[in-house]
Structure 1
Amino acid sequence: MYYVLLVSHGEMAPGLHTAVKMIAGDNEWVMSAGLHDGSSADDLAAEVKGLLQGVTAADRLVVLADLMGGSPLTTAMKVVAEMGLLTNTVALAGMNLPMALTAVLAGPDVELDLLAETLSGEACNGVEEFVIPADEDEDEDL
């Protein structure tokens, strides 16, 4: 089986999960958890462990996080390691909606190494400046 876990500070991961559901549908193999204000890393670890309870070492797991080195990613990866799931897990930080969608839409047959490379590209390609061309008439009025 193939799983995608989104983790973040606050509501970013659950909010991103909601957006992914709106676009790609509700998939039981996509999960999310956030480290909420006033909660501890132990609270997040318990939540992640609960989400991953059905995942086995034979499954493949993609973990997407908001920040490299942040508590959500390090806590989630500690749980992944404790559960013996590291062998078939790829983890990336800097998640955004294009990256999460690509992970979800890639499907269960995707190679994790190829997916990691693709997701890194999506993270960068998803950031673009939105430019509205100035109306030439506006310049003449100035």
Structure 2
Amino acid sequence: MTAVLICTHGNTGAEMIKSAEMICGEQDNCDAVPFLMGQSLDELRTTLKNTVEQYKTDEAVICLTDLKGGTPFNTLVALSESHANMTVITGVNIPMLLQLLVYRNQLSEDELIDDIITTGKEGIFKFEVTDVEDDDF
């Protein structure tokens, strides 16, 4: 099973998992590691390394982060250099996470990554009210 690891500034990742589980049920191999105010880079690196090492060595690990170039992203990118099965994707949102959780056992890793990136982008939408005439109802 593809493992899912979310690392964000603060507790956003854990709350996203809770929200996703409300929709698609409790998830195995799905963890959040927060980067907290005042936490050292070494503490974050150690926690991320320990979390990744709990997964089976042959399974893919898809890591989602909130901000390209931020500490969680940079730390996961550095960690991925010694874990060939890790992929790091930034810009995490709920539609992307749901797609990942639902299809992680049904698609190849490459298909899954393309799919969740597309879904994440399509999850961004601006609603606009248009003029509605009375006879439209």
CA RMSD of aligned residues (A): 1.9
Aligned to 2:87: 90
Size of the aligned set, in residue pairs, is 134
Residues 68 and 94, structure 1, Cα contact 8 Å, conserved in 2: yes
Aligned to 1:105: 102
5+ unaligned residues in a row in structure 1: which ranges? 138-142
Aligned to 2:126: 129
Aligned equivalents of 2:37, 2:78: Cα separation in 1: 20
Aligned equivalents of 2:50, 2:25: Cα separation in 1: 22
> Are 2:53 and 1:56 equivalent residues in the alignment?
no
The percentage of counterpart residues that share the same residue type is 24
Aligned to 1:22: 22
| Aligned residue identity for 2:66 | D
Per-residue deviation, residues 106-134 of structure 1 (Å, max 9, x unmatched): 13242111111111111110011133446
Aligned equivalents of 1:135, 1:40: Cα separation in 2: 55
Aligned equivalents of 2:26, 2:51: Cα separation in 1: 16
Aligned to 1:75: 75
Residue 5 of structure 1 aligns to a residue whose secondary structure is: strand
> Are 2:21 and 1:13 equivalent residues in the alignment?
no
CA displacement at 1:7 relative to structure 2: 0.9
Residues 80 and 87, structure 2, Cα contact 8 Å, conserved in 1: no
Per-residue deviation, residues 81-120 of structure 1 (Å, max 9, x unmatched): 34xx22x222210110000111111132421111111111
5+ unaligned residues in a row in structure 2: which ranges? none
Aligned equivalents of 2:49, 2:22: Cα separation in 1: 26
Aligned to 1:44: 44
Q: Larger C-alpha radius of gyration, 1 or 2?
A: 1
CA displacement at 1:53 relative to structure 2: 2.6
Q: TM-score, normalised by structure 2?
A: 0.85
